[in-house]
Amino acid sequence: MKQNMALFAVIGLGSFGSTIATQLVSLNHDVIGMDNNKRNVESISDQITHAVIADATDEHVLKELNIQNCEAVVVAIGEDIEASILCVLHLKNMGMNKIWAKAKSKAHHMILTHLGVDKIIHPEEDMGTRVAQSLSYPMVSRYMGLEDNHFIVKIEIKASLHGKHFNHLMEHVTEIKTLLFKRGNQILFTIDPNLILQEGDILVVEGELEPLRKLSARFK
């Protein structure tokens, strides 16, 4: 039985969209992936729940695929800004509340903001590289840039923190939100502050750059 399973849709299966889709599957969720490029769909079809070659700018298609039943939709359409905006408009019309969208440019970002998208992601900006360098995280294996200097970061607990309490690690960075904790196959979304960390544990946290820098210092 899958734990905490939810249904997500990822629209646009280029390198960014397919990474998100496969990550969600690895976190035990069901994922509908959609792209109008046959090659993109075929290359991921055996890794996610359902992969479809379809035009995301067609509202009927979105309805037929039951996108409205998804917990959240990630619009990862890359080059075609118009398609991205049309798709978001349709999703809004269908009553989708939780929409994350990838922005290609400042203008695209501005339009998405006006459309009321929950989170706007800029994966291609060199900001990501700069952040990784400036944080020089010894513990980060993956991160995702959100808007406004916010980042989602995946942390692996190293031997130096084995046996330490979770609250001991996080007490100086109260602004950082822990999204999930993973040990082996067990995933927790609510974490007991007295939990004793083990080497190999995974934390996924969200926060701004400064508190994340502070947290990274605990791993040095």
CATH of the domain at 174: 3.30.70.1450
The pLDDT mean for the chain works out to 83
Q: Give CA angle at 136 (128, 217), nearest 5°.
A: 125
Residue 1 in any domain: the answer is no
Q: Are 93 and 59 in contact (CB under 8 A)?
A: yes
Assign 3 a pLDDT band (cuts: 50, 70, 90). Answer: very low
Residue 141's domain comprises 127-217
Of 87, 121, 155, the residue that ends a domain is: 121
Higher-confidence residue of 2 and 217: namely 217
Indicate the pairing of strand 202-208 with strand 99-102.
unpaired
Q: Give residue 126's pLDDT band: very low, low, confident or very high (50, 70, 90).
A: very low
Structure-model confidence comparison of residues 3 and 208, the more confident one? 208
Report d(CA 206, CA 153) in Å as an integer.
6
Residues 114 and 211 in one domain: no
Which range has the top average pLDDT, 121-125, 143-147, 171-175, 195-199? 195-199
- Express each pLDDT in 182-195 by its tens digit: 998 888 888 898 99
Give the CATH number of the domain where residue 46 resides.
3.40.50.720
Cα–Cα distances in Å, from 198 out to 1, 49, 157, 166?
A: 25, 32, 7, 10
